[in-house]
Structures are given as C-alpha cells and as structure tokens.
Structure 1
Amino acid sequence: MTVEEERNWAFAAHLGSFVAAYVALGFLCPLVVLLAKGKDSAYVRYHAVESLNFQLTTLLAAAVAGLLVIVVIGLVLLPFIGIAYVVLVILASVAARRGEWYRYPVNIRFVK
C-alpha cells in the first residue's frame, strides 16, 4: 500500500463516520476500514482503532447524556458532545490526511 493510499484510508476512517453517525452508527465506518485494510498497514490500523474507540466513547456519552435529560443536565451535555464530536473528528481527519499520528484527547480504549 502506498503512503497516499494509507493516508486516504486513515482519512476515511475518521471522516466517513460522519455519514453513519446520522443514525448513531458512526462506529461502522472505522470498523469496516479496520477489518478491510487494518492488516495491510499499521498506520491505517492505528487511525481506524482511534476512530472506532472515539465513536464508541461518543455513543456511550450521548446515551448517558440522553438519560440525564430527565434531570436537565443532559440538555447542556448533548450540544456540548455534538460540538466536541464535530471538532475532534475534523481535527483527526486533517491530521490523518497529513500523515500525522493523531490521538483523541478523550477516548476510552475499547479496542487496542
């Protein structure tokens, strides 16, 4: 796999999650990238795992915030989670496209 292909797949692992996140399945794109190209490149695997962990962390945080809507704090947390999600995915996508090893600042390591 060429360096350009690696960067494209890593980029897709992050940015492609926006499409599936519309139906709360943002983890599918990085999972597909991990399974399809993770064995071919350590760089692609790293970014796919980072994105997958972030998608699962965000899904968990959104579910908890959704439950906390009952006590009003969720109304504040949900928009914050949404804004942080968009900003961090864009930062990760740009870093992956540049060839950098990006690590999300808030991430539970479900997959290693």
Structure 2
Amino acid sequence: MSQPPYPPQQPYAPVPMSPSDERMWGMFGHLSAIAASFVTLPFLGPLILFLVFKDRSGFVRGHTSEALNMTISLIVYEAVLFVLCSVLALFTFGLSYGLMVVPGVVALIFTILAAVAANQGRAYRYPLIFRVVR
C-alpha cells in the first residue's frame, strides 16, 4: 500500500480564548444586539456571535446566549404590547402606542449594564427574560 499524498486530517479542536478576548467578545455579544437593531433584527448579532464562539469559551457562550435570550424575549414582549396597545387605541385615540418605546428603552439600559459587566469579567443575568437558548 502506498501512502496518500496528503497528511491525514486532524479533527477540528476549538482554540481556547484568552481572558481579555473572552471579555471583549462577551461585551460585543451584548452590544451586537444594539447594532443589529438598526436593521430591525436585534437577535441577529448575538446569534452570529453565539454560533461562532460557543465552543471556544464558556464565558462568551454565557453572555451571547443571555443576549440572544434577551432579544427573543424583547420581541415577544413587543408583540404582546402591540396587541394590547391596539386594543387600548380604541379608547385612547392612538395615544397608547407611545408605550411601545418603554421595553426598548429598558432593554437598552439592561444591555449597557450587561456589556459593562462582561467587560469587567463578571456574569450578568437579564431580569424578566425567557431563557430559551442555553
């Protein structure tokens, strides 16, 4: 038997990240939700970072999954609030739609707090979210 002309394939092993890279990508996991919301897909940034870095660092996986869960929860809350505001609009002449801003502002504040915590190397848990992705 002759030897194949190429070396045998090695199985893919994720390269571990340095602590400073973990903090940076954990922070970007939260901030990417803000950046992706400019194209009306706030879950897209955390989802991409989650899929890319989930096997390389438990710290980054935790922060990106938390950011992804927050954006999923925010979408659900906004949909429920839209239905509620639509019903209330009959009685308030459309003024109830001003409430649609509240979840976004609250999410922005919590996202900034989470990004600061990730940059400091601390874990952060958003309050009142559904934890769908682990």
TM-score range, shorter chain: over 0.9
Deviation at 1:23, TM superposition (A): 3.2
Partner of 2:122: 100
Q: Which amino acid aligns with 2:119?
A: R
- Superposed CA deviations along residues 18-43 of structure 1, whole A, max 9, x for unmatched, are 11112331111111111111100000
Pick the structure with more helix per residue.
Answer: 1
Q: Which amino acid aligns with 2:115?
A: S
Percent of aligned pairs with the same residue? 36
Q: Does 1:8 align with 2:30?
A: no
Contact 1:95 1:101 in 2 (8 A): yes
Counterparts of 1:77 and 1:96 in 2: how far apart (Å)? 30
Partner of 1:36: 52
Corresponding residue SS for 2:104 = helix
Name the count of aligned residue pairs: 112
**Which 5+ residue runs of structure 1 have no aligned equivalent?**
none
TM-score (norm 2): 0.78
Partner of 1:19: 35
Contact 1:24 1:59 in 2 (8 A): no
Deviation at 1:76, TM superposition (A): 5.1
Q: Which amino acid aligns with 2:111?
A: V
TM-score (norm 1): 0.92
Determine which of 75, 83, 89 is the counterpart of 1:67. Answer: 83
Deviation at 1:75, TM superposition (A): 2.5
What is the RMSD of the two structures over their aligned residues, measured on CA atoms? 1.4
Moved over 4 A (4+): none
